[in-house]
Chains A and B, each alone.
Chain A
Amino acid sequence: MERNNIRRQVALMRQSLFTQGYLDEQFVQLEELQDDTNPNFVEEIATLYYRDSCRSLQTIEKSLEKTPHDFNKLDNHMHQFKGSSSSIGAKKVKAECQQFREYCRAGNGEGCMRTFQLLKKEHATLKKKLEAYFQMARQAGPIETASRPK
């Protein structure tokens, strides 16, 4: 009984991550890759993402502190970061990355710094939500998720 309740909660948490725009279709792709041989695939990818992205964010932050801004360098760093965010399906984070890149191209340092703050916030929010989601999912135990025909 209890397990069913947890499973329901997990499903609701998952659904809200999509409806609130935190995750996109790419996350579903990751879920579809999770199987018996890789039962924790999604969480592993998420962990890898947060490990890598923290480093990337630190690098970008340091670059932003140097003036005049090297927009080319900033854009390159952000291109990489946007790529990983896209690979995990981090929709809001990706959007901020895109905005940041546009400010880089326009040579708008103020815009970059403002967007970077928003980006960090989105990044942190998603991390919290995913951690909570994975923790709950682990409690619920293995679920047969409905998978779309390949």
Chain B
Amino acid sequence: MESGFSSSSMGFMENVEQPHVLAVDDSDIDRKLIEKLLKNFSCKVTTAENGARALEFLGLGDHPNHCNVSKVNLVITDYCMPGMTGYELLKKIKESSVMKEVPVVIMSSENIPNRISKCLEEGAQMFMLKPIKQSDIKQLRCHLMNCRS
């Protein structure tokens, strides 16, 4: 199993019928794919093409505001992105007093154990290997909603 789990489950998405997910990826194709995958699992999806846009949406950018903060239940981000990596985005989210409770999932096409543990240590909820499949999203929902199969 390529995915990594962190031991603390947030239960953040319990009782949330239509979780709002912010999906961050610089690849057009991967953005379209992850959006469809998430929508198929009843998620409301906002996409961002880089870390800076993601932070702006979350209200953590240059002009801080908190209007989107309470709306986002999960951030799922690609690791390798130009400018700000997914890891750096993760750090910024975890450093923020308002956003740090929001689960962040990292995606990568490369299975590098160091990278995975680094992300999990920084507070990533889960690490998923690309290309992402439906079974990965199912697992993600289950994990974040505290299901135990």
Interface residues of A (CB under 8 A from B): 26, 29-30, 32-33, 35, 38, 41, 44-45, 48-49, 52, 79-80, 82-84, 86-89, 150
Q: Is B133's CB within 8 Å of the partner chain A? A: yes
Complex contact B36–A84 (CB within 8 A): no
Interface residues of B (CB under 8 A from A): 27-30, 32-33, 36-37, 40, 80, 109, 130-131, 133-134, 138
| A79 and B133 alpha carbons, distance in the complex (Å) | 20
Enumerate chain B residues within 8 angstroms of A84, measured Cβ to Cβ: 27, 29-30
Complex contact A87–B138 (CB within 8 A): no
Give the 7 A-B residue pairs with the shortest CB-CB distance, closest first.
Answer: A83-B109, A87-B131, A33-B36, A84-B29, A26-B131, A87-B29, A48-B29
Complex contact A33–B40 (CB within 8 A): yes
**Inter-chain contact total with CB atoms closer than 8 Å:** 51
| A79 and B130 alpha carbons, distance in the complex (Å) | 12
Complex contact A29–B134 (CB within 8 A): yes
| A89 and B138 alpha carbons, distance in the complex (Å) | 20
Q: Which residue of A lies closest to B41 (CB)?
A: A150
Enumerate chain A residues within 8 angstroms of B29, measured Cβ to Cβ: 45, 48-49, 52, 84, 87-88
- Whether A86 touches B32, Cβ cut-off 8 Å, given contacts A29-B131, A33-B37, is no
Complex contact B80–A79 (CB within 8 A): yes
| Max chain B Cβ within 10 angstroms of own Cβ: one of A52, A79, A87, A88 | A87
21 contacts between A and B (CB under 8 A): A29-B131, A29-B133, A29-B134, A30-B33, A32-B134, A33-B37, A35-B40, A41-B36, A48-B28, A52-B27, A80-B27, A80-B80, A83-B27, A84-B27, A84-B29, A84-B30, A86-B130, A87-B27, A87-B29, A87-B130, A88-B29
